[in-house]
Amino acid sequence: MTSEALIPSKELTAELENVKLELPKLQDVKLVAAVPQLVRSEIFKTEHKQVAVLCMFQPGYPDVPLVTEIKSKTLGYKFLQGLAKVCDTEAKKQLGKPQVLHIVQFVSSFLDGNPLCVCADEISLVKEKLSKEKDEVKLKQKSSQVTLKICQEEYFLNLRITVPDDYPLSQVTPEITDHNFPEFLRTNFQAQATETARQCVQPPLKKKPKDPPFVPKPSLRPVAEYVIDCVQKYPLETCPLCNERALPVDPTNESATKGKHRVEKIYCGHLFHLICLTKYMKKPPFSEGKFCPACGKQIFHDKFKVSAKTLEDRWAHKQAKQRELEEVVDFLD
């Protein structure tokens, strides 16, 4: 800082007096210091949305713009950098005039008008996961929502994430608004996304004695990334039993997912053709259970909740039937 700035001009002295008087009247704003070098104020919106605004005077002020620095313990660095840059542009519009009140007011209303600033860093990380040309991320600041369009080949899914006022203490609300996946997968994605959000802010239901104290964490990115992973993965997944695509390549081909072509998601997360799975589950050996050929985990499925003994009996019965049939065929020969 040069000596020129330390000896306040008449204009600066008058502005500082006015700042001391007017700034504390602004909503959510607290004046910390108003000296010839800088004005420091604090803006408090919520626990996680609070900033310190430093307006620094340069030699030649107010014919040169203020330099603004914005600090926060809770908001992301990238966002704060961006906001400071916008403040520079704002200050330039006020050349020759008092700038401090204008800037502080600008920052305050920017925070009000951009509720998604609490998850700005998360949003940019989510954007990095979406590389495809057809993918989209839209921010709706008015309704505090982020909408994603996620695509994989011919499949797509639209996800709307609502960010609450007291984020990240409360969880985001994910909602699948449109898609062309089979309905059972939508239900599954939706339930898992909601559960992922819940787990970010609520302690586990069964607490282990050695667990560290639970701390809520931001839920937007985990939820978005879970759904992005699903959309990117499942259209390409093959049935571990026949090695063909589990879902039809063409999502509009509905007959390809009906009846014996139905697709099932089993406990481990892998997709199977129902027809392949049925064949596999009804074939011995049964005694040690049946395992997913893709990951080795045991297969649990409502449709096949039958004991090994029953399966063994059924198999024996089928074999006997087959022998009978063969005998009949032999007889006919």
d(CA 191, CA 175): 10
Of 7 and 249, CB closest to Zn ion: 249
Q: Is 239 in the site for Zn ion (CB under 5 A)?
A: yes
Of 295, 306, 316, 325, the one binding Zn ion by CB under 5 A? 295
**Which of 94-102, 136-144, 255-263, 265-273 is the region at the interface with Zn ion (rule: CB under 5 A)?**
265-273
User: How many residues of this chain interact with Zn ion, rule: CB under 5 A?
Assistant: 10
Shortest gap between Cβ of 156 and Zn ion (angstroms)?
24
d(CA 173, CA 219): 9
Give the C-alpha distances (Å, rounded to integers) separating 54 from 11, 21, 66, 72, 104: 19, 18, 10, 11, 9
Give the C-alpha distances (Å, rounded to integers) separating 263 from 116, 157, 304: 38, 18, 15
CB distance 21 to 41 below 8 Å: no
Of 220 and 266, CB closest to Zn ion: 266
Shortest gap between Cβ of 237 and Zn ion (angstroms)?
10
Give the C-alpha distances (Å, rounded to integers) separating 191 from 196, 198, 225, 247: 9, 11, 14, 20
Q: Is 256 in the site for Zn ion (CB under 5 A)?
A: no
d(CA 316, CA 242): 25
Q: Is 242 in the site for Zn ion (CB under 5 A)?
A: yes
**Which of 47-55, 112-120, 191-199, 286-294 is the region at the interface with Zn ion (rule: CB under 5 A)?**
286-294
Distance of CA 262 to the CA centre of its chain: 30
Shortest gap between Cβ of 260 and Zn ion (angstroms)?
11
Shortest gap between Cβ of 230 and Zn ion (angstroms)?
15
Shortest gap between Cβ of 294 and Zn ion (angstroms)?
4
Shortest gap between Cβ of 241 and Zn ion (angstroms)?
5
d(CA 88, CA 66): 7
Shortest gap between Cβ of 258 and Zn ion (angstroms)?
15
Tokens of 151: 């695509």
Q: Is 290 in the site for Zn ion (CB under 5 A)?
A: no
Question: Based on the number of CB atoms within 10 Å of its own CB, is 181 exposed (0-12), middle (13-18) or buried (19 or more)?
Answer: buried
Q: Is 294 in the site for Zn ion (CB under 5 A)?
A: yes
Tell me the three state secondary structure of residue 106.
helix
Shortest gap between Cβ of 165 and Zn ion (angstroms)?
41
Of 87 and 246, CB closest to Zn ion: 246
Of 94 and 192, CB closest to Zn ion: 192
Residue type at position 109: S
Of 123, 273, 280, 286, the one binding Zn ion by CB under 5 A? 273
CB atoms within 10 A of CB 235: 22
Of 55, 118, 276, 311, the one binding Zn ion by CB under 5 A? 276
Cα dihedral: 183, 162, 123, 29 (round 10):
180
Q: Is 230 in the site for Zn ion (CB under 5 A)?
A: no
**Which of 35-43, 199-207, 268-276, 303-311 is the region at the interface with Zn ion (rule: CB under 5 A)?**
268-276
Of 9 and 238, CB closest to Zn ion: 238
Interacting residues toward Zn ion by CB under 5 A: 239, 241-242, 268, 270, 273, 276, 292, 294-295
